[in-house]
Amino acid sequence: MKKIISLALVFLMLFSVLVGCTNSEQGSTSKKKLVMATNAEFPPYEYKDGTNIIGIDAEVMAAIAEDLGMELVIEDMEFESVLGAVASGKADVGAAGLTIRPDRLESVDFTDTYAKAKQVVIVRDDGQINTLDDITLGMKIGVQAGTTGWIYASDTPENGGYGEENVESYSKGFEAVQALSQGKISAVVIDSEPAKVFVSQQPGLKILDEAYADEEYAIAVRKGNTEFLNQVNASLRKLKESGKFQEIVDKYISAE
């Protein structure tokens, strides 16, 4: 009986070791998820290609995730929900053409900036509006809700805006552009790169030469998560120094 019990114990010990080894091997091949919150309506930074989300931000974050030994998971949502997802911990990062602003710094922290951008104005190519000065109070201006374009345009005329009462908000940028094409509004304030894409897809529209506002993009992380912020910044610097970052940008934005 003692021999039988001893053999059984040996068997159980061997089984435990084997199971432990298997679990260890599985753990070594699985990666921790890096969840990116975005709004995939912002070409060329993030947009849908079938069921996939591609673009500059998507590829940059994939490269950062790889450098950190993590697997990128992209969560598509309304633009206005991106920062909330990061602040609440539902997402690790927010990458959606985000501009650093004092009001946003109240809820999240930002990495080093990685792209210069500008807000531009799209109008119909009918000769009615040719400069920013041709846009007068009372004209309806379309914007994507929650964006810096929305913030700037909704401001008072004294601060360079058109007044909240003259601004029409849309959940997606292309919806504002469609409204412009249909004559429902007089202009659209939006980031320059998406503007180029939308104008190329909608005949009869043009971008005014003068920029409406200059800004820079950065990646949002949960406020106070300094260690992770430093890790992302280090990976971002590696991408820039290696030339990989510029390769990604050149893939989506042709040199002018």
Structure confidence at residue 137 (pLDDT): 85
Confidence of residue 24 (pLDDT cuts 50, 70, 90): very low
> What does the chain look like in DSSP terms, one character per residue?
-HHHHHHHHHHHHHHHHHHHHHHHHHHHH--EEEEEEE-SEETTTEEEETTEEESHHHHHHHHHHHHTTEEEEEEE--HHHHHHHHHHTS-SEEEEEEEP-TTGGGTEEE----EEEEEEEEEESSSS--SGGG--BTB-EEEETTSHHHHHHHS-GGGT---GGGEEEESSHHHHHHHHHTTSSSEEEEEHHHHHHHHHHSTTEEE-SS-SEEEEEEEEEETT-HHHHHHHHHHHHHHHHHTHHHHHHHHHS---
Percent of the chain topping pLDDT 90: 86
Structure confidence at residue 35 (pLDDT): 98
Residue-wise pLDDT tens digits, 138-176: 999 999 999 999 999 999 999 999 999 999 999 999 999
Confidence of residue 31 (pLDDT cuts 50, 70, 90): confident
Q: Before 194, cis peptide (omega within 30)? A: no
Confidence of residue 25 (pLDDT cuts 50, 70, 90): very low
Structure confidence at residue 52 (pLDDT): 96
Q: What is the mean pLDDT of the chain?
A: 89
Domains in the chain, start-ordered, CATH in brackets? 32-116+216-252 (3.40.190.10), 117-214 (3.40.190.10)
Residue-wise pLDDT tens digits, 98-152: 999 999 999 999 999 999 999 999 999 998 999 999 999 899 999 999 999 999 9
Structure confidence at residue 37 (pLDDT): 98
CA atoms within 13 A on the CB side of 235: 19
Q: Residues 62-71: what's their mean pLDDT?
A: 97
Structure confidence at residue 18 (pLDDT): 42
Paired strand residues for 216: 116
Q: Residues 179-193: what's their mean pLDDT?
A: 96
Percent of the chain topping pLDDT 70: 88
Structure confidence at residue 254 (pLDDT): 78
Structure confidence at residue 246 (pLDDT): 95
Residue-wise pLDDT tens digits, 203-243: 999 999 999 999 999 999 999 999 999 999 999 999 999 99
Residue 255 pLDDT exceeds 50: yes
